[in-house]
Structure 1
Amino acid sequence: MQREKFSSRLGFLLISAGCAIGIGNVWRFPYITGQYGGAAFVLIYLFFLVILGLPIMVMEFSVGRASQKSAARSFDVLEPKGSKWHLYKYGAMLGNYMLMMFYTTVGGWMLIYFVKMAGGEFVGKTPEEVGGIFNGMLGDPLLMMIWMVIVVVIGFSVCSMGLQNGVEKITKAMMSCLLLIMVVLVVRSVTLPGAGEGLRFYLMPDFGKMADQGITTVVSAAMGQAFFTLSLGIGAMAIFGSYIGKDRSLTGESVSITLLDTFVALMAGLIIFPACSAFGVDSAQGPGLVFVTLPNIFNEMPGGRVFGALFFVFMSFAALSTIIAVFENIVSFGMDLWGWTRKKTVAVNFVAIILLSIPCVLGYNLWSGFVPLGAGSAVLDLEDFIVSNNLLPLGSLVYLLFCTSRYGWGWKNFLTEADTGNGVKFPKWSRIYVSYILPIIVLILFVQGYWDKIFKALFMR
């Protein structure tokens, strides 16, 4: 069966960027930037994005393009005879399914908030009442279940239409709207009276603020964010490598996608920090920033209901672009592994993803007594920990070793594939760095995740 291809380079770039651009950019990035000192944190984050994220992205794309398969079959095609690299297909598949076990619920939250904001539910509410609306949503399993199912229906409907007619066409339109809405919101936010203080915090590095948090803490948070923002290690990018031709070098394409991903994260900060300072709100409020703090800000802003609705459309598009991209990967697993048709794979996975998403929905209400990572945690936190702190770093390590080790696909094969086509070439001088130093950094991040989540919780009470 002939493998489908993207109809345009722009389609490939926007879909790959859409996979990388998710809630991590527009929800997590602003609040951790707020917590870790603003502009100084952003600079360190950008540095690690280039030295950590970029090489692994090129490797994932190379494995996908050389094999012309998803992660379900790519290692089988490229590995040396008799080796066991192909066993990682189960890790990659697990990563994609687990990511969707909570992402579908959070995507539902974004849509719920768009409806609430557009319908005027926040108008005239006190900050306490706005907080109550968020808690009320979490406490309503039926409401969250309905919107989670709507998200799954949207995602698989797009995938069922095929790569070019569905995934590519709709993601292109969605990403174009996302970028347009961002520009409108940034212009509104930076022109608010009193926005200057927030802009200074976000754009003028103050390393003193960083020292207050502890330099090692800030550096490790920046490394973690740079690494996790690109969704690397579970074959989510490899699939799009398998859909592109050989006319462009993969390093150049990876740079373009990383720039797009970073642009969206930085723009999210330009929306949030000036608005926070204009209305005297603390930007280091953690995850509640988007769902509790921002509705309060939109309440006080002239035309806030319109801008608030636009903001949550933008958030919904960011979530849906990732969901559609990962669903496409899940669909390609079924097609590559079992030779199923696209329609059959969509039907089977539609049921599977809904069932797998139920624990996350119930984790905030009927199962709220289950606190897997200590007081205040829920099922979502456990699922996120398994993906972000285990499957992504360990999967990235597999791709790194596979592309650099003579026991795997090997450095020469990787370099030939990465450099095929016009554009930026992968630096040959980086071989020692990507073969020996980068795997150690990834392992440190893996251990750090356990230290932060488990050891600190146990020993620093």
Structure 2
Amino acid sequence: MEEREKFASRLGFILISAGCAIGLGNVWRFPYIVGQYGGGAFVLLYLVFLVALTLPIVVMEFSVGRASQRSYGRSFEALEPAGSRWHVLKWFGFAGNYVLMMFYTVVSGWMLNYIFKSATGTFNGLDAAGVSEVFGAMLSNPVELIFWMGVVVIIGILCTAAGLRNGVERITKYMMIALFVVLLLLAIRSVTLPGAAEGIAFYLTPDFSKLTANGLSGFLQAVYAAMGQAFFTMSVGIGSMAVFGSYIDKKHSLTGEALRVGGLDTFVAIMAGFVIFPACFAYGVDPSAGPGLVFQTLPVVFEAMPGGQMWGALFFVFMSFAALSTVIAVFEFIMSFTMDQWGVSRRKAVAINGTMIFLLALPCALGFNVLSGVVVPGIGDIQGVEDFIVSNNLLPIGSLLVLLFCTRKGGWGWQNFIAEADTGNGVKFPKRLFWFVKYVVPFMIGFIIVMGYIPIVSKWIGVA
């Protein structure tokens, strides 16, 4: 087995961990969910759950990785009490990352495709109906979808094949710095548009009446959406953060590191809102347009701007960097897991997993065209099913099991977790939160799981 690498710098660890968290959840999912649930009030709700629900689990994943100094494939064997079977959790992580890549590589390919379309003037002169036709034509073309998905997979393969320092860390650092620069340029352009002030007010002014406009059920849906967004955006529950914890030293406390990663993740999500909402209001576009906001609505907005072809291309460069940072991070998880679990070289792990990810992503790419008739009632097409498996099942269930492992005596235990989390300089984990973390957080995770199944069960009962 190859000697385990380490990050070359603390900045590399923070940026790569943030890169894993920063992805489509921030720049695709976050803005349209904020639009659907009324703006600023929902943003506050999301921030509360990010801190109370998600960050403690990020600290736990970091701690499991750093304490074991192994990938997720071997972490639990190193820390669990003798005779216990906590190590079965690793398969949640492995399955979760694999299923995530089965649809994430396809959607990431859309971003790269839209850079090309924007830069070459495909959207020039098109209205909303014309842009929707371009999007629909892309989805109906299996060759186009598979090609761009393949480009994403090749990028992930090349970055991870070069190793942790020379590939993953070096490339992700430059990519993340470029992402921040492009994001800042886009935000400045958007907030200086005539009429942008109304969008900023919608985004930042909390109006809690919008959360309760549809009564208790509407409020519970908003709470569920905020919790789910906090989970999805930080990629907790499937070990993605644990592997990066295994690559760092003990100089800094892990709560402080988690706060920095969470802060960068939230910064990108908030700034994405500053790009999208002022632009939508400036050009009279509905900010609650749903998942099609980015691919069907925003190209029209950019087209209407002076220099819109450049701004549109830049926006999708930013989107692509956000998506690819997650792809590279998840690929590294999968490669690290494979090397530790089965004792193979990095080169062999890359060859096997790269091929498997490409093949397993084909059903999602074909699910919009050749296999469009494959639909699960209450969930949707193939991409929707894969997203549901990850977002509504593997992420929350995996998070719950990691939390139990770190708080129960039959697992690693609270004292061991706190000792590892607090090692090093920086913010310490608040020990007074023990009862909250042990009992309230599991209840919130259970709420997420149950709420995710209510519309599906309702649909199935209706069908029956």
Name the TM tier (shorter chain).
over 0.9
Match status 1:379 vs 2:376: no
More divergent stretch after superposition (324-333 vs 208-217):
208-217
Distance 1:350 1:258 in 2: 29
Deviations 1:244-289 (A, max 9, x none): 0000000000000000000000001000000000000100010000
Distance 2:328 2:459 in 1: 35
Alignment of 1:382-393 (within 5 A): 382-393=385-396
Deviations 1:174-212 (A, max 9, x none): 000000000000000001111111111001111122222
Alpha-carbon contact 1:373-1:382 (below 8 Å) kept: no
AA at the equivalent of 2:446: L
Distance 1:176 1:270 in 2: 19
Q: Give the deviation of 1:458 after TM superposition.
A: 3.3
Counterpart of 1:30? 31
AA at the equivalent of 1:239: V
Distance 1:320 1:333 in 2: 20
AA at the equivalent of 1:397: L
Alignment of 1:23-62 (within 5 A): 23-62=24-63
CA-based RMSD: 1.1
Counterpart of 1:139? 140
Match status 1:416 vs 2:395: no
Q: Which runs of 5+ in 1 are unaligned?
A: none
AA at the equivalent of 2:358: I
Alpha-carbon contact 1:138-1:144 (below 8 Å) kept: yes
Distance 1:188 1:436 in 2: 46
Alignment of 1:170-249 (within 5 A): 170-213=171-214, 214-249=218-253
| SS of alignment partner, residue 151 of structure 1 | helix
Distance 1:282 1:54 in 2: 32
Match status 1:430 vs 2:438: no
Distance change in 2, residues 1:459/1:34 (3 Å): farther
Distance 2:102 2:367 in 1: 12
TM-score norm. by structure 2 comes to 0.97
Distance 2:458 2:222 in 1: 16
Match status 1:444 vs 2:463: no
Q: Give the deviation of 1:457 after TM superposition.
A: 2.5
Q: Give the deviation of 1:2 after TM superposition.
A: 3.1
1:400 aligns with one of 383, 394, 403: 403
Runs of 4+ aligned residues of structure 1 deviating over 3 Å after TM superposition are 458-461
Counterpart of 1:286? 290
Alpha-carbon contact 1:45-1:222 (below 8 Å) kept: yes
Distance 1:270 1:259 in 2: 16
Q: Give the deviation of 1:374 after TM superposition.
A: 4.1
Deviations 1:102-149 (A, max 9, x none): 000001000000000000010011221110000000000001101111
Determine what percentage of the aligned residue pairs are the same residue: 60
Alpha-carbon contact 1:373-1:381 (below 8 Å) kept: no
Alpha-carbon contact 2:378-2:457 (below 8 Å) kept: no
Q: Give the deviation of 1:88 after TM superposition.
A: 1.4
AA at the equivalent of 1:458: W
AA at the equivalent of 2:443: I
Deviations 1:13-52 (A, max 9, x none): 0000000001000000000000001000000110110000
AA at the equivalent of 1:387: V
| SS of alignment partner, residue 158 of structure 2 | helix
Counterpart of 2:254? 250
Distance 1:401 1:267 in 2: 34
Counterpart of 2:364? 360
Deviations 1:398-432 (A, max 9, x none): 11000000000011110000000000000111111
Counterpart of 2:277? 273
Counterpart of 2:302? 298
Distance 2:226 2:138 in 1: 31
Alpha-carbon contact 2:377-2:460 (below 8 Å) kept: no
Counterpart of 2:120? 119
Alpha-carbon contact 1:158-1:166 (below 8 Å) kept: yes
Q: Which runs of 5+ in 2 are unaligned?
A: none
Q: Give the deviation of 1:350 after TM superposition.
A: 1.1
Paired residues, what number? 459
